[in-house]
Amino acid sequence: MENGKLKTKFIFITGGVVSSLGKGIASSALGVLLQARGYRVRLRKMDPYLNVDPGTMSPTQHGEVFVTDDGAETDLDLGHYERFTGVSAKKTDSVSAGRIYSYVLNKERHGDYLGATAQVIPHVTDEIKEFIRADLDKEDFCICEIGGTVGDIESLPFLEAIRQLRNEEGADRCMFIHVTLLPFVKMAGELKTKPTQHSVKELLSVGIQPDMLLCRSECPIPDNERRKIALFCNVKPECIIEALDCNIIYQIPINYHEQGIDERVVNYFKLPAAPEPDLSKWHDIVARIKEAEGTVTIAVVGKYISLLDSYKSLAEAIAHGGIANKAAVKIKWVDAADFDEDPELLSQQLQGVDGVLVPGGFGERGTEGKIAAVKFAREKNIPYFGICFGMQLAVIEAVRNLGGLPDASTSEFGASPHCVIGLITEWIKNGEVEIRKSNGDLGGTMRLGAYPSNIKKGTKAYAAYGQKVIHERHRHRYEVNTNYAKNYEQAGLVFSGMSPDDSLPEIIERADHPWFVGVQFHPELKSRPLEPHPLFTAFIAAAIKKSRLV
Ligand code: GLN
């Protein structure tokens, strides 16, 4: 703040031509470059769908649900923002059209509009502008990404809101960047600029003139095409930025810098272009990836593998474990639901892998296959990492096969005589009791966000973390039922992490196995390329050790 006035500058990122252009990564890379120039950044996402948040959507529709420390269920792009910039996202960094409308409707019911007709302009657009400006103080830049593709009906209120915001804050505080695609037409041997021209026209029709175009392309943009785009789209030729396809995502900030994006942005805002940003950390990561020695294969046994975005943070965290160990990691995706009929067959898929990971999940379909995967890893001494559901199923497997209860189950699958995993309706958050109804709403009612756990010394968890208290992010309804402590002991399960009041097991492991760890939380959400998560680092290290034994 300066004299009570917000000084943060806004950069709005829109997308055109097609979806899946990587706006999230583009926004993150720009964030990295501005940070490297010494600026403080926040990144935000506005999603045009009508769900209040993505929490109730299937991951195969929308990709993973990313959970923030403060317990918001958000779009997976927030994961990219965190991984690249290292800035932990907050509830105030993600909003959907559904949430905006719910605010407007609540205000209308409350009588806040004093007799006025509630309308998209101004009520919905005001609510969007309030979201954009909220909770900013020390940030020099707020990069706001608008989900969807320009031209969609749903994104119109967001475009209108940013148009208004630029008028209110001034062009010197707001910049519009449009990400587009230049398709390469093989028959003509040319990159085509027309879809970009049309997309910019679409933006102009809602009153937005982009200041910069970030053009995704599979080959370099010839000067002639660059001039053409500049002329037709009314953008300076030097502000047509080439964004070539790139296999290593952590190289993208370096590539963008070479294209001059950060220099053009600081020029736009009349900020000094010198000194050059220091990108040595990113060069180091890329070098580690390129110079990886040896490859390990990790089987991920899940249910949502038809859309790999369902496991975005997980795949990145596994890659970070590889970066930390200077090894390449190949992920073998195994669809557990294919093995419901004959779960034992799943073990054929696991022959020769160096590690098995069962990730988070919901519902009964596919679980027998996942349990078979746990058993295989346990019996064959293959490093095993169970995350959330993968931890709960590891407990069920152990109690069924070693703990004397062959019918052990979870109440998630309905009533059963021995629910070793059960629904919790009361728990402690920040010293207060949180209460849920067992038949209440599904949206936003899980145990969500960061919670502390105490780690027992002398365990694998302690060896990985090297500290007694950790904070990790949760997203689940069910918990290990400690009434079965005797069966757990008989099954050889060690509880190496517990909630501070000692009531909820947060980490389980086996002392009789090279590396078998299950966690009730989602460590993948906190892993970053510059700070790989200790459990992923330890898991991949164990997989490397296993691969060398064979
Ligand atoms: N379905 C389980 C629960 O709700 C696990 C959830 C998860 O893996 N995120 O407790």
Q: Does 375 sit in the ligand 1 pocket, CB within 6 Å?
A: no
CA pair distance 498, 237, nearest whole angstrom: 58
Going by alpha carbons, the residue nearest to atom 1 of ligand 1 is 362
- Whole-angstrom CA distances from 219 to 65, 147, 251 are 33, 25, 17
- Sorted by sequence, the CB contacts under 8 Å of residue 203 that are 6+ apart come out as 14, 16, 150, 159, 176, 178, 209, 210
Q: Does 478 sit in the ligand 1 pocket, CB within 6 Å?
A: yes
Q: Which atom of ligand 1 is nearest to the CA of 390?
A: 8
pLDDT at 5: 61
Going by alpha carbons, the residue nearest to atom 6 of ligand 1 is 476
Going by alpha carbons, the residue nearest to atom 9 of ligand 1 is 360
- Cα 362 to averaged position of ligand 1 atoms, centre (Å): 5
- Cα 472 to averaged position of ligand 1 atoms, centre (Å): 15
pLDDT at 430: 80
Q: Is the dihedral of CA 399, 404, 406, 410 positive or negative?
A: negative
pLDDT at 433: 77
> Per residue in 247-301, pLDDT tens?
999 999 999 999 999 999 999 999 998 889 999 999 999 999 999 989 999 999 9
Best mutation site among 421, 447, 475, 480 for ligand 1 pocket (most ligand atoms within 8 Å of CB): 475
Which of 433, 454, 541 minimizes the C-alpha distance to 506? 454
Angle at 139 between CA 137 and CA 140, to 5 degrees: 125
> Per residue in 439-472, pLDDT tens?
777 777 789 999 999 999 999 999 999 999 999 9
Q: Tokens at residue 422, please? A: 């059960």
Q: Which atom of ligand 1 is nearest to the CA of 412?
A: 1
- Cα 477 to averaged position of ligand 1 atoms, centre (Å): 6
Which of 301, 489, 314, 460 minimizes the C-alpha distance to 395? 489
Q: Tell me the Ramachandran region of residue 71: left when phi exceeds 0, alpha when psi lies from -120 to 50, beta otherwise.
A: left
Q: Tokens at residue 218, please? A: 């599979």
pLDDT at 62: 87
Best mutation site among 396, 478, 479 for ligand 1 pocket (most ligand atoms within 8 Å of CB): 478
Q: Does 360 sit in the ligand 1 pocket, CB within 6 Å?
A: yes
Q: Which atom of ligand 1 is nearest to the CA of 363?
A: 1
pLDDT at 423: 85
| Angle subtended by helix axes 194-205 and 223-233, to nearest 10 | 20
Going by alpha carbons, the residue nearest to atom 5 of ligand 1 is 389
pLDDT at 73: 96
pLDDT at 3: 52
- Sorted by sequence, the CB contacts under 8 Å of residue 166 that are 6+ apart come out as 10, 174, 176
Weakly modelled stretches of the chain, pLDDT under 70 = 1-6, 550
- Cα 447 to averaged position of ligand 1 atoms, centre (Å): 10
pLDDT at 112: 94
Q: Tokens at residue 130, please? A: 């309030």
Just list the catalytic residues.
388, 522, 524
Q: Count H helices and E strands in the chain, helices first.
A: 18, 25
Best mutation site among 64, 303, 388, 519 for ligand 1 pocket (most ligand atoms within 8 Å of CB): 388
Q: Does 147 sit in the ligand 1 pocket, CB within 6 Å?
A: no
pTM of the model: 0.94
Q: Does 376 sit in the ligand 1 pocket, CB within 6 Å?
A: no
- Sorted by sequence, the CB contacts under 8 Å of residue 414 that are 6+ apart come out as none
- Sorted by sequence, the CB contacts under 8 Å of residue 92 that are 6+ apart come out as 44, 131, 134, 135
- Cα 526 to averaged position of ligand 1 atoms, centre (Å): 18
Q: Does 515 sit in the ligand 1 pocket, CB within 6 Å?
A: no
